[in-house]
Amino acid sequence: MRMTSAGARGRRTLAILASIVVLGLALTTGGAIGQAPPQPVADALPSWNEGSAKRAIIDFIRTTTDPASPGFVPPQDRVATFDQDGTLWTEHPLYTQVLYAFARLHLLTEAKPELRQREPFRTVLSGDRDAIAKLSLHDLEKVLAVTLTGMSTETFRTEVAEWLAHARDPRWKRPYTELTYVPMQEVLAYFRANGFRTYIVTGGGQDFVRVYAQAVYGIPPEQVVGTAGATSYTYDANGKPVLIKEPKLLLNDDQAGKPEGIHFMIGRRPQASFGNSTGDRQMLEYARAGDGPRLAVLVLHDDASREYAYGPAEGLPDTHVGTFTAQLHDEAIRQGWTVISMKTDWKRIFAFDP
């Protein structure tokens, strides 16, 4: 029945206003007026144990993304950088890119048999794991220079993708792209869900990591900063323009090279940086030196049963692959950086863990 009187219209208006008030009370009191209480927010980091490391990450996100917080960071300035080897995926017993270079060296010697008699190529081709483990970083750089240049960038991408599709880690018998750390994948997703752009900043080859970064980490090629070599512009047999990878270093994206690479490629100082070794120290220092809230995080590999244990910080075995020294650990404590214990802070490490 239609109400036409002024009194009826007034009663209807009062009823609507009363409903609005009741609804407002229900919302502000957590649903006390016949409403279900709000559900707790889902855990953004479910593979993490409760502790100081998890709290530091969550508190940082809350501080930088709450508009009412004095530490609020505008979305356009939200940048987080992540080392890859030893921070996002496993790096022992050798870096994955080095293993790819070793595989390619065997193929390369078919065209260049003289390499079989020269060091360090002779040692690599011998397959002697103990001897290979003693090779210096300079020796490994020689292998990389020979095996990862002299081809077009398209050929390189195709060959890396093919190798990754078939190569298996000798310990877990799985593709290397499955050896990413689930807790760190959660951190990447958590940061992106809160408006941060996530960059890989790695001492590994930029072109190598770009092949799989999008599929494995959700990070596009343009957000990968790594050690970069020169290329030369030319034409293939069909007249198509190509870039040829040259044995000339443009950027050594390790140690001090990391903040230099960040400035060159990103142009913004990151609010948060994650690493795991002495090669990441300057990147974390650079991030922390900015104004406002900052987060610097190091992953400590102290879980030999589920992954590997090495340091030599905290009395762990020494290593030249992903070295985490006592001096770096002391600096982290002194500067208020967060140190993640894989053994204590992570419920699981890989997606295939039970």
Of the pLDDT bands very low, low, confident and very high (cuts 50, 70, 90), residue 38 is very low
Sort strands 224-235 and 241-251 into parallel, antiparallel or unpaired: antiparallel
Q: Which of 245, 231, 254, 223 is nearest to 104 (CA)?
A: 245
pLDDT value of position 155: 96
Average pLDDT over residues 239-249: 96
Confidence of residue 37 (pLDDT cuts 50, 70, 90): very low
Mean pLDDT of the chain: 89
Res. 77: pLDDT tops 70: yes
- Give the whole-angstrom CA distance, residue 56 versus residue 78: 17
- Which pLDDT band holds residue 41 (cuts at 50, 70, 90)? low
Measure the CA dihedral 41/47/51/53, to 10°: -100
Distance, in Å, from the CA atom of 218 to the CA atom of 216, rounded to the nearest integer, reads 6
Q: What is the pLDDT of residue 133?
A: 81
The 3-state DSSP class for residue 94 equals coil
* Lowest-confidence pick of 66-80, 136-150, 185-199, 204-218: 136-150
Confidence tier at 30 by pLDDT (50, 70, 90): very low
204 contacts 85 by C-beta, under 8 angstroms: yes
Euclidean distance between CA atoms 163 and 230, whole angstroms: 23
The pLDDT confidence band at residue 6, using thresholds 50, 70 and 90, is: very low
SS3 readout for 36-86: CCCCCCCCCCCCECCCHHHHHHHHHHHHHHCCCCCCCCCHHHCEEEECCEC
Q: For 258-283, what is each residue's pLDDT tens digit? A: 999 999 999 999 999 999 999 999 99
Indicate if the pLDDT at residue 200 is higher than 70. Answer: yes
Is residue 142 within 8 Å of 149, Cβ to Cβ? no
pLDDT at residue 209 is higher than 50: yes
Three-state SS at 235: strand
